[in-house]
C-alpha cells in the first residue's frame, strides 16, 4: 500500500488540443522542464509525440529526453562553455541565448547552430537588453554557421490579466522584432487570456498538465496527475481529543478519522491547512491536524470508508490541484513538481 501518481494520457492529449484550438496556426513548444512539471518523462508520450518542439531548462534534462525521443528540443538555459555547446549540438538542440556572456561561445562555433534569442522586455530575469539584442543580432546575421531560429521573450505578470506590464512588454517585443519571422512570447496564462501574444510559437507549460495558471481552476482543462494514497487506519475520536503533532486540532464532537499513508515525505504540502479537502469515495472530506512526514488525518464522518480504500489528494475534476495549492499558500506548479521518489508513477489511459 503506497502513494501512486497516475498520469492520464487522454488528459494530456486533450489539453494539448485545447492549446492548439486557442492558438490555431502557431507551433507548440511544450514545456517539459523539471521532469515534465513532475509528471515523469516516461509518462507523457502524447505530449512528446504531439508537440512541435519540447523545451527543457538544462543540458542534463536534454540528455534524458534525447534518450527517449528524436523530437526537436529547445534548451532554455543556453550554454556556458565550448564543451556545453558541443553537447547541445550533438543532442540536436536549439539553444537559447539570453546573456552577453553566451554570445562569443555561439559565435565561435565550428558547426551549424540554431539559436533562439531571448529578449528581456521587463521581467529582468533572463534575457538580452534591447541594445544587447541588436548587437547580437547583427553579429549572428553575418555568421553563416549561426541560424536565428526564433526570437522570444517571457511575461512577468501574464497571470494577472490586467497588469500594465503585459502591454508594455508586448509593445517592446513587437518594436524590437518587426522584421523577425519567428517569434514566441506566450506561456499558458497568455495563451488563455491574450490572443494577441500568440505569434509563431507558443510555450505552454502548466495548462498541458491540466492546471490553470490563474488562481481559479479552468474546467476546459483536464487534470493529468491523480495522486492517491491508501487509508491505513480508521478510528473514532471522542469530543475533546486531539490529533497529530502539536495536538493542534481538537474534535468538537465525536469524529471518525481516516489516517492516510501520505505526508510531506511524499510531497504532500506540510502547510496544508485544516479543512484542505481530500477526496474519499467521491466525497470531499477535511484534513485535520498537522501533515506529518508519512501520514495525514482526515475527518470522514460524512462518508463511509474502509482500510485499504484509496484517498485522492488531487487530480480529480472534483478536487483540482489548484484547490490544494490555495489551501497551502502555494501554486500548483510547486505541488506537481515536488513529489518525492517514494511515489510510484504509472501511465493511465
Ligand atoms: C516554464 C516556461 C514557460 C511555461 O510557463 P507556464 O506558466 O507553465 O505556461 C514558458 N516560457 C518559458 C521561458 C518558461 O521557462
Give per-residue pLDDT as tens, 223-254: 999 999 999 999 999 999 999 999 999 999 99
Q: Per the domain annotation, does 276 fall within a domain?
A: yes
The DSSP string of 255-288 is EEEEEES--TTTT--TTPPTT-EEEETTEEEEEE
Q: Which domain holds residue 44?
A: 9-209
Q: Which of 80, 171, 235, 245 is catalytic?
A: 245
Indicate the helix (H) or strand (E) that contains 88: helix 82-90
Classified as helix, coil or strand, 49 is: helix
- CA angle centred on 97, ends 91 and 101, rounded to 5°: 110
CA-CA distance, 240 to 252, in Å (whole number)? Answer: 6
**Does ligand 1 come within 6 angstroms of the Cβ of 203?**
yes
Give the pLDDT confidence of 260-309 residue by residue, as tens digits.
Answer: 999 999 999 999 999 999 999 999 999 999 999 999 999 999 999 999 99
CA of 76 to the centre of ligand 1 (A): 10
> Does any ligand 1 atom lie closer than 6 A to the CB of residue 77?
no
| Contact criterion met (CB below 8 Å) for 49 and 41 | no
Q: For this structure, is 20 an active site residue?
A: no
The pLDDT assigned to 1 comes to 74
Task: Locate 266 and state its grid cell.
Answer: 511524499
Instruction: Please indicate, yes or no, if residue 3 is contained in any of the structural domains.
Output: no
CATH code, 60:
3.20.20.10
> How far apart are the C-alpha atoms of 244 and 313, rounded to whole Å?
19
At which residue does the C-alpha cell 507549460 appear?
A: 205
Q: Are residues 55 and 160 in the same domain?
A: yes
Question: Is the residue at 87 inside a domain?
Answer: yes
Q: Is the pTM of this model over 0.85?
A: yes
Same domain, 262 and 115: no
Average pLDDT over residues 193-210: 97
Measured distance CA(207)–CA(198) in Å, rounded: 15
- The pLDDT, as a whole number, for residue 215 is 79
15 CB under 6 A from ligand 1? no
Amino acid at each position: 500500500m503506497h502513494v501512486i501518481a497516475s498520469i492520464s494520457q487522454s488528459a494530456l492529449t486533450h489539453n494539448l488540443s485545447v492549446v492548439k484550438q486557442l492558438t490555431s496556426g502557431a507551433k507548440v513548444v511544450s514545456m517539459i522542464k523539471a521532469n515534465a512539471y513532475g509528471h515523469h518523462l516516461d509518462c507523457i508520450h502524447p505530449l512528446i509525440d504531439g508537440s512541435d518542439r519540447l523545451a527543457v531548462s538544462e543540458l542534463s534534462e536534454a540528455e534524458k529526453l534525447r534518450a527517449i525521443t528524436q523530437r526537436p528540443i529547445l534548451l532554455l538555459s543556453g550554454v556556458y562553455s565550448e564543451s556545453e555547446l558541443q553537447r547541445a549540438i550533438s543532442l540536436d538542440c536549439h539553444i537559447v541565448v539570453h546573456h552577453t556572456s553566451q554570445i562569443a561561445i555561439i559565435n565561435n562555433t565550428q558547426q551549424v547552430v540554431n539559436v533562439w534569442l531571448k529578449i528581456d522586455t521587463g521581467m529582468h530575469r533572463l534575457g538580452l537588453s534591447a541594445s544587447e539584442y541588436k548587437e547580437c543580432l547583427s553579429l549572428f546575421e553575418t555568421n553563416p554557421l549561426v541560424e536565428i531560429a526564433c526570437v522570444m521573450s517571457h511575461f512577468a505578470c501574464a497571470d494577472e490579466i490586467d497588469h500594465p506590464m503585459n502591454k508594455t512588454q508586448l509593445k517592446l517585443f513587437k518594436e524590437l522584432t518587426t522584421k523577425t519571422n519567428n517569434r514566441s512570447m506566450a506561456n499558458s496564462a497568455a495563451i488563455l487570456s491574450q490572443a494577441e501574444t500568440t505569434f509563431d510559437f507558443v510555450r505552454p507549460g502548466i495548462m498541458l498538465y491540466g492546471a490553470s495558471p490563474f488562481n481559479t481552476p479552468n474546467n476546459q482543462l483536464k487534470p493529468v496527475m491523480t495522486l492517491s494514497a491508501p487509508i491505513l487506519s480508521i478510528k473514532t475520536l471522542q469530543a475533546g481529543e486531539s490529533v497529530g503533532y502539536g495536538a493542534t486540532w481538537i474534535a468538537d464532537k465525536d469524529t471518525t478519522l481516516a489516517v492516510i499513508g501520505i505526508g510531506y515525505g511524499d510531497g504532500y504540502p506540510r502547510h496544508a491547512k485544516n479543512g484542505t479537502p481530500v477526496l474519499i469515495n467521491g466525497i470531499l472530506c477535511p484534513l485535520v491536524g498537522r501533515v506529518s512526514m508519512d501520514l495525514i488525518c482526515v475527518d470522514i464522518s460524512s462518508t463511509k470508508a474502509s482500510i485499504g480504500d484509496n484517498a485522492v489528494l488531487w487530480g480529480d475534476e472534483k478536487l483540482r490541484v489548484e484547490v490544494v495549492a490555495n489551501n497551502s499558500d502555494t501554486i500548483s506548479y510547486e505541488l506537481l513538481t515536488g513529489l518525492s521518489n517514494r511515489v510510484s508513477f504509472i501511465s493511465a489511459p
